RNA sequence: CGGGGCGUAGCGUAGUCUGGUAGCGCGCCUGGUUUGGGACCAGGAUGUCGGGAGUUCAAAUCUCUCCGCCCCGACCA
């Protein structure tokens, strides 16, 4: 199928001249939106009429590459902490992402709606989240002192809409989505639009007569998400995720892979296994515990209070030491044992313990062990002891002696202390066996740009979203929800695509696809004519072309076109023009190439196809 | 909220310790010379020094207070 080379897949209508517009308005087959779009094309795609506001130096507050570049390129302007204005250039990028998201949502049969950003408290009180959600929710009062919030998410609203409409299983499944501004009063907004308080999100909600229906939609959403991020030109990975506070079961996060990502992801290069490190299982080691060789004996470790210090002092690898952590939840204190070189995974530990916990206070710790932190160990403890799986293969290990300045050496389970309870308590590390048995895990960092959940009936039950089934029985609808951080994707895409000159955005999301840079526009009639000709021709082909018709020096034009991330560039100069040629250079190409003026349109179209 | 830091022209900053009435680079405006990688020369505009109060003959500078912002920790698209 031959699609027009326009990125969003929409057909653009070209009009030969403005006079035709008057006629078009009376023509019902051409809607005014498209005419408006045409007008804006005419008036914005010339750099002299556009609004470019670039900076040579980035504002001091920006730390992350994407944040610095977005400010420098004039994509966004800050209004306050976590609040940004999308400037014309940045908005083009945002809109292109939205277009792809919309297209794929529509493809899987989701229907677009637009729900209120301001929501009454009563709805949230129905699910109990008015109090649960916490200070992240911006609560506001109207003139009658009625309580509202600025929506941080829309489960309550959409469930309310659907419960009023759905009577029969015949109306299901139903998936609604919206692209809308959300507000979450983040504790610490940072990194520009990466973690803003106000942000644009696509959120979809599906309703089903049964769990099987939910699973089907969940799968097609999973596939749609994969298509979206592929079309956006991003390197991403879907990972199994913790369901977190939103509740329900079954969940995947979609991460754009970038070193600056806030999440750690464990993945297997040999298979498609991937999980958030919060969830990735550290499988039981295949190794069998060695036979005890040494007798347990006490050694002086004066002042050595960390695994590292003890390891250095005894000249032993940290993997030979057992780390003992005392945690408390309420009145109960539990000892957790980890290999010295491993890190506690608090989510796993909380699941094992069945509740939230924190590290024990020093006073509690002294009461239980009789010594200060730094020398505690499991030998002789009378509290519950849970060991990580990898600890169970250790023999003749070192641990604290519960006596300040002393450690035990040659400690063995079964002989020197009872066999403990065993659980998966630690974060996986690079090189751990993959839980699917297909090789070893690697770690990388990711930016969470999408999250899909099987909510099941958490919200529908709380809000009695019911329908009648084939037997005429009242049933509670199964629900799924599917989010994409649209504005965050802009930042994530830049994190993944930049160089020392600026952004190198994928063509699908770049603000413009092609820059036409004339050399000496005001001097040369030939340059002017060729630039205009190509500009009109590409415009009519539906290509987002920016003609840099400003009276700027060449270096300035190049620098700005590169900074703002336009993927393709044609330079029209007399030098090449006398040979009947123009110069083409891709944003990441090392060198420009001469192309004949007749062939250059086809040449560029070919380049667009490849990216 | 806890810990650290900052607030001087649109952006980047000096001056603050040691009080004497604000400087530099980029950008902007005018004129000229330039014009294939963020030009050069000359001239120019822009500052309630975050707000308020206090100390002082005198405050960007010292004191108090409020506000805003950034960085490190707990939340999440």
Q: What digits encode the pLDDT tens for the residues A277-290? A: 888 889 988 888 99
Give CB contacts under 8 A, 24+ apart, made by A547-556. Answer: A547/A45, A547/A46, A547/A47, A547/A516, A547/A518, A548/A47, A548/A515, A548/A516, A548/A517, A548/A518, A549/A46, A549/A47, A549/A48, A549/A518, A549/A521, A550/A47, A550/A48, A551/A521, A551/A522, A554/A517, A554/A519
Range with the lowest mean pLDDT among A9-18, A118-127, A362-371, A388-397?
Answer: A9-18
pLDDT, residue A42, reads: 54
A79 CA → B49 C1’, Å: 22
Angle at A193 between CA A221 and CA A247, to 5 degrees: 40
A291 CA → B59 C1’, Å: 77
Domains of chain A by start residue, with CATH: 89-254+446-494 (3.30.930.10), 297-423 (3.90.960.10), 512-611 (3.40.50.800)
Judged against a pLDDT cut of 80, whether residue A20 lies above it is answered with no
Which tens digit of pLDDT belongs to each residue from A420-446?
999 999 989 989 999 888 999 999 999
A407 CA → B9 C1’, Å: 64
pLDDT, residue A22, reads: 33
Judged against a pLDDT cut of 80, whether residue A38 lies above it is answered with no
Contacts of A453 (CB under 8 A, 6+ apart): A243, A246, A248, A250, A251, A480, A481, A482
Average pLDDT on A289-300 reads 91
A418 CA → B55 C1’, Å: 71
CA closest to C1' of B72 belongs to A188
Q: How confident is the model at residue A44 (pLDDT cuts 50, 70, 90)?
A: low
A7 CA → B35 C1’, Å: 35
CA closest to C1' of B12 belongs to A57
A311 CA → B38 C1’, Å: 54
A60 CA → B19 C1’, Å: 29
CA closest to C1' of B35 belongs to A553
Which tens digit of pLDDT belongs to each residue from A201-225?
999 999 999 999 999 999 999 999 9
The nt closest to A519 (CA vs C1′) is: B36
Q: Is the peptide bond before A173 cis (omega within 30 degrees of 0)?
A: yes
A504 CA → B4 C1’, Å: 35
The answer to whether the beta carbons of residues A190 and A260 sit under 8 Å apart is no
The answer to whether the beta carbons of residues A584 and A569 sit under 8 Å apart is yes
Residue A165: how many other CB atoms lie within 10 Å: 12
User: Which positions of strand B lie within 7 Å of protein CB atoms?
Assistant: 1, 10-13, 25-27, 34-39, 68-77
CA closest to C1' of B13 belongs to A60
Helices (H), A302-345: 307-314
Range with the lowest mean pLDDT among A307-311, A315-319, A377-381?
Answer: A307-311
Which tens digit of pLDDT belongs to each residue from A536-553?
999 989 999 999 999 999
pLDDT, residue A8, reads: 38
DSSP element (H, E) containing A155? helix A155-165
The nt closest to A186 (CA vs C1′) is: B75
Mean residue pLDDT across chain A: 88
CA closest to C1' of B76 belongs to A186
Please state, in angstroms and rounded to a whole number, the distance separating the CA atoms of residues A512 and A451. Answer: 29
The nt closest to A552 (CA vs C1′) is: B35
A553 CA → B40 C1’, Å: 13
Q: How confident is the model at residue A21 (pLDDT cuts 50, 70, 90)?
A: very low
The nt closest to A557 (CA vs C1′) is: B38
DSSP state of A375: S
Judged against a pLDDT cut of 90, whether residue A349 lies above it is answered with no
Average pLDDT on A235-239 reads 92
pLDDT, residue A461, reads: 95
Average pLDDT on A591-609 reads 95
Judged against a pLDDT cut of 80, whether residue A358 lies above it is answered with no
Q: Which of these, A585, A301, A262, A284, lies nearest to A445 by C-alpha position?
A: A262
Average pLDDT on A281-309 reads 88
CA closest to C1' of B5 belongs to A61
Average pLDDT on A381-393 reads 91
Please state, in angstroms and rounded to a whole number, the distance separating the CA atoms of residues A201 and A187. Answer: 19
Please state, in angstroms and rounded to a whole number, the distance separating the CA atoms of residues A288 and A397. Answer: 15
A222 CA → B76 C1’, Å: 20
Give CB contacts under 8 A, 24+ apart, made by A319-324. Answer: A320/A394, A320/A397, A320/A398, A321/A397, A321/A398, A321/A399, A322/A377, A322/A378, A322/A391, A322/A394, A322/A397, A322/A398, A322/A399, A322/A411, A324/A376, A324/A377, A324/A378, A324/A399, A324/A400
Pairing of strands A568-572, A514-518: parallel
CA closest to C1' of B27 belongs to A55
Average pLDDT on A471-482 reads 96
pLDDT, residue A543, reads: 93
A322 CA → B54 C1’, Å: 60
Q: How many separate helices (H) and strands (E) can be counted in chain A?
A: 17, 31
A397 CA → B49 C1’, Å: 63
A88-107 and A486-496 helices, crossing angle to 10°: 110
The nt closest to A502 (CA vs C1′) is: B38
The answer to whether the beta carbons of residues A366 and A372 sit under 8 Å apart is yes
Please state, in angstroms and rounded to a whole number, the distance separating the CA atoms of residues A484 and A97. Answer: 11
pLDDT, residue A276, reads: 86
The nt closest to A81 (CA vs C1′) is: B69
A260 CA → B49 C1’, Å: 36
The nt closest to A573 (CA vs C1′) is: B36
Tokens for A354, please give them. Answer: 């069945």
pLDDT, residue A13, reads: 37
Please state, in angstroms and rounded to a whole number, the distance separating the CA atoms of residues A321 and A337. Answer: 10
CA closest to C1' of B38 belongs to A556
A53 CA → B56 C1’, Å: 45
pLDDT, residue A43, reads: 52
The nt closest to A71 (CA vs C1′) is: B11
Q: Which of these, A492, A578, A564, A481, lies nearest to A218 by C-alpha position?
A: A481
pLDDT, residue A16, reads: 36
The answer to whether the beta carbons of residues A96 and A6 sit under 8 Å apart is no
Please state, in angstroms and rounded to a whole number, the distance separating the CA atoms of residues A609 and A2. Answer: 11
A60 CA → B4 C1’, Å: 17
Please state, in angstroms and rounded to a whole number, the distance separating the CA atoms of residues A454 and A480. Answer: 4
Please state, in angstroms and rounded to a whole number, the distance separating the CA atoms of residues A82 and A199. Answer: 9
A74 CA → B10 C1’, Å: 13
pLDDT, residue A5, reads: 37
Q: Helix, strand or coil for residue A8? A: coil
Please state, in angstroms and rounded to a whole number, the distance separating the CA atoms of residues A176 and A516. Answer: 41
Average pLDDT on A54-59 reads 90
Q: Helix, strand or coil for residue A607? A: helix
The nt closest to A72 (CA vs C1′) is: B11
The nt closest to A203 (CA vs C1′) is: B77
Share of chain A above pLDDT 70, in %: 91
The nt closest to A563 (CA vs C1′) is: B38
The nt closest to A199 (CA vs C1′) is: B77
The nt closest to A201 (CA vs C1′) is: B77
Share of chain A above pLDDT 90, in %: 63
A479 CA → B45 C1’, Å: 62
Judged against a pLDDT cut of 60, whether residue A405 lies above it is answered with yes
Which tens digit of pLDDT belongs to each residue from A132-190?
888 889 988 888 989 999 999 999 999 999 999 999 999 999 999 999 999 999 888 88
Average pLDDT on A343-361 reads 81
Please state, in angstroms and rounded to a whole number, the distance separating the CA atoms of residues A562 and A512. Answer: 11
């Amino acid at each position: 199928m031959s699609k027009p080379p326009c990125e969003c897949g929409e057909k653009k209508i070209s009009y030969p001249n403005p006079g035709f517009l008057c006629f078009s308005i009376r023509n019902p087959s051409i809607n005014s939106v498209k005419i408006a779009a045409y007008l804006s094309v005419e008036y914005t795609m010339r750099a002299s009429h556009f609004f470019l506001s670039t900076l040579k130096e980035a504002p001091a507050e920006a730390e992350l590459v994407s944040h610095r570049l977005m400010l420098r390129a004039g994509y966004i302007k800050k209004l306050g902490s976590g609040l940004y204005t999308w400037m014309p250039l940045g908005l083009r990028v945002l809109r292109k992402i939205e277009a792809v998201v919309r297209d794929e949502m529509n493809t899987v049969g989701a229907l677009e709606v637009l729900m209120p950003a301001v929501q009454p408290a009563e709805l949230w009180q129905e699910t109990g989240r008015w109090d649960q959600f916490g200070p992240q929710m911006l609560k506001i009062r109207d003139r009658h002192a009625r309580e509202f919030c600025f929506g941080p998410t829309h489960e309550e609203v959409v469930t309310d809409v659907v419960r009023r409409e759905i009577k029969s299983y015949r109306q299901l499944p139903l998936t609604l989505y919206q692209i809308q501004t959300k507000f979450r009063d983040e504790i610490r907004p940072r990194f520009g639009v990466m973690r803003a308080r106000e942000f644009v999100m696509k959120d979809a909600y599906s309703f089903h007569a049964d769990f099987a229906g939910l699973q089907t939609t969940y799968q097609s959403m999973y596939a749609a998400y994969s298509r979206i991020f592929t079309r956006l030109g991003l390197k991403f990975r879907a990972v199994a995720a913790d369901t977190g506070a939103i509740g329900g079961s079954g969940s995947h996060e979609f991460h754009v892979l970038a070193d600056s990502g806030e999440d750690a992801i464990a993945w297997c290069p040999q298979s498609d296994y991937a999980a958030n490190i919060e969830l990735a299982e550290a499988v039981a080691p295949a190794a069998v515990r060695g036979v005890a060789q040494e007798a347990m004996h006490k050694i002086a470790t004066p002042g050595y209070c960390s695994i590292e210090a003890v390891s250095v002092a005894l000249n032993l690898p940290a993997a030979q030491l057992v780390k003992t952590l005392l945690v408390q939840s309420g009145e109960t204190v539990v000892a957790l044992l980890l290999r010295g070189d491993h890190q506690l995974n608090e989510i796993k530990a909380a699941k094992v313990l069945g509740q939230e916990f924190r590290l024990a206070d020093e006073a509690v710790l002294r009461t239980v062990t009789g010594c200060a932190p730094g020398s505690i160990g499991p030998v002789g403890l009378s509290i519950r002891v849970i060991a990580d799986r990898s600890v169970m293969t250790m023999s003749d290990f070192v641990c604290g002696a519960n006596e300040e300045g002393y450690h035990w050496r040659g400690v063995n389970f079964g002989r020197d202390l009872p066999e403990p309870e065993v659980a998966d308590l630690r974060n996986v590390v690079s090189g751990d066996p993959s839980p699917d048995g297909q090789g070893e895990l690697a770690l990388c960092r990711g930016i969470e740009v999408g999250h899909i959940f099987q909510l099941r009936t958490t919200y529908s039950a709380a809000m009695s979203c019911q329908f009648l089934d084939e037997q005429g029985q009242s049933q509670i609808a199964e629900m799924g929800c599917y989010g994409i951080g649209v504005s965050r994707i802009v930042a994530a895409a830049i994190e993944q695509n930049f160089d020392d000159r600026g952004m190198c955005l994928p063509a699908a999301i770049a603000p413009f696809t092609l820059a036409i840079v004339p050399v000496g526009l005001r001097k040369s009639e030939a340059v002017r004519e060729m630039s205009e000709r190509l500009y009109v021709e590409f415009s009519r082909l539906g290509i987002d072309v920016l003609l840099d018709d400003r009276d700027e020096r060449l270096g300035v034009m190049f620098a700005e076109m590169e900074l703002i991330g336009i993927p393709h560039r044609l330079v029209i100069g007399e030098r090449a023009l006398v040979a009947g040629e123009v110069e083409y250079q891709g944003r990441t190409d090392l060198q420009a190439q001469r192309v004949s003026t007749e062939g250059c349109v086809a040449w560029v179209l070919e380049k667009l196809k490849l990216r």
